[in-house]
């Protein structure tokens, strides 16, 4: 996968002074009208930026997004809502876009008002004609505790699908402290785009968990301007899925303090919902996470996690199989050879845990990371 931008998208980034060094403000828009789809956090403390964006997204005609990093603009009351609207309206006015076509997103510390004097000064530097989209710059300006920018693109016939994302913590149960945006020059009807987008998000970003905590600012959106013409719907969904999955794996690998990507594949479940539930229980277990971090082939922690699904009465221990990589650790005898082979797999940068429940043909894969002392340090000192 590469990073080739789709036709007709423009961007701009600058520093508002919210982070010590580098850009923390970005605009990504289509130069022509577009159709869109979006999903947002389900948190009861959703921030003003999410509230404004929900209103815009309801029309299905958004063509871009403005993002402020290092300030979540959450729990900021009527003033925070007014500030979010002002940011959207000022950017829209300068770029010649209707306010109802522009999403707003924010990420960072909760409970602090935007420093509006700095924000206004930054927006005033916005050129009326934006340059061609620089997706790596947009991805970099979105970062908070990320250690690297996350961006990728893929081809779909004559069209391109590109995505950017930020997120490394507070990732569960629905998306994350996550901002992710996709742009494409494929031509699709809005209802089709919405259906495909929701399906892909459910199988990628909603299959991701870092620490079981969810955010107040989660936002995911896609903008399609149609400049490359029609595409095959199935091919487009596969291209979007691959772009989203690449970003998910990047986020899991870059989880706060993480040293390893964990992929949990659940097979043989009653249905997809059960497979998802079991997979999330495993990847969210602190004991599983720490075992992976220490390359300890303690399969007992995996079966312990499965056992917490106490309402799934059709899970029979005698039917369950657990593998680390290709190594069967349960119910196989825990010989020295088996444990050594499992240990070698756990020493890698990517760890695959496969669980076959032996019930039916439901399956689902979830993604996460190990738990390290680095995670504790990042979050113990987050606002200080």
pLDDT given at position 379: 54
Two tokens, residue 235: 């091919």
E strands in 159-317: 159-166, 179-187, 219-230, 261-269
- Apex 382 CA angle, 379 and 383, nearest 5: 150
Positions of the chain with pLDDT under 70: 1-4, 168-177, 210-215, 255-258, 372-384
Looking at the whole model, is its pTM more than 0.85?
Answer: no
In Å, what is the CA distance from 160 to each residue of 153, 157, 346? 7, 8, 36
> Cβ of 309: how many Cβ atoms within 10 Å?
16
pLDDT given at position 174: 44
Two tokens, residue 78: 């009527």
Rg (CA), the chain: 22
- As a whole number of angstroms, the distance between CA 181 and CA 26 comes to 12
pLDDT given at position 380: 62
- Apex 45 CA angle, 43 and 51, nearest 5: 90
pLDDT given at position 171: 39
384 is catalytic: no
pLDDT given at position 42: 77
Q: Which of 140, 144, 177, 372 is catalytic?
A: 177
Q: What are phi and psi of 66, to 5 degrees?
A: -115, 135
pLDDT, tens digit, for every residue of 119-177? 999 999 999 999 999 999 999 999 987 888 999 999 999 999 999 998 754 334 343 35
């Amino acid at each position: 996968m590469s990073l080739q931008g789709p036709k007709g998208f423009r961007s701009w980034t600058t520093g508002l002074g919210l982070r010590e060094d580098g850009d923390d403000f970005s605009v990504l828009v289509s130069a022509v009208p577009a159709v869109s789809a979006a999903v947002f956090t389900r948190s009861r403390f959703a921030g003003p930026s999410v509230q404004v964006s929900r209103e815009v997204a309801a029309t299905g005609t958004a063509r871009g997004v403005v993002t402020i990093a290092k300030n979540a603009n959450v729990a900021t009351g009527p003033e925070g809502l007014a500030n979010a609207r002002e940011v959207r309206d000022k950017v829209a006015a300068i770029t010649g876009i209707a306010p109802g076509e522009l999403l707003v997103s924010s990420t960072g510390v909760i409970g602090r008002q935007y420093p509006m004097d700095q924000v206004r000064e930054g927006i005033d530097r916005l050129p009326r004609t934006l340059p061609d989209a620089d997706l790596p710059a947009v991805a970099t300006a979105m970062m908070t505790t990320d250690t690297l920018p996350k961006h990728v693109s893929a081809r779909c016939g004559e069209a391109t699908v590109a995505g950017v994302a930020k997120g490394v913590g507070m990732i569960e149960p629905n998306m994350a402290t996550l901002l992710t945006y996709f742009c494409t020059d494929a031509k699709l009807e809005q209802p089709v785009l919405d259906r495909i987008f929701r399906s892909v998000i459910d199988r990628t970003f909603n299959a991701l968990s870092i620490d079981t905590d969810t955010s107040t600012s989660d936002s995911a959106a896609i903008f399609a301007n149609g400049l490359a013409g029609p595409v095959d719907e199935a091919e487009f969904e596969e291209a979007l899925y691959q772009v989203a999955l690449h970003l998910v794996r990047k986020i899991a690998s870059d989880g706060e303090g993480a040293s390893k990507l964990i992929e949990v594949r659940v097979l043989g479940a009653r249905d997809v919902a059960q497979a998802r539930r079991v997979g999330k229980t495993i990847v969210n277990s602190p004991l599983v996470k720490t075992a992976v971090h220490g390359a300890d082939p303690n399969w007992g922690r995996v079966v312990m996690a499965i056992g917490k699904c106490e309402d799934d009465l059709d899970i029979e221990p005698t039917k369950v199989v657990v593998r680390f990589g290709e190594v069967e650790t349960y119910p196989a005898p825990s010989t020295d050879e088996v444990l050594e082979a499992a240990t070698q797999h756990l020493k890698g940068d990517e760890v695959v845990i496969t669980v076959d429940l032996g019930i039916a043909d439901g399956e689902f894969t979830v993604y996460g990371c190990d738990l390290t002392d680095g995670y504790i340090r990042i979050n113990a000192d987050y606002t200080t």
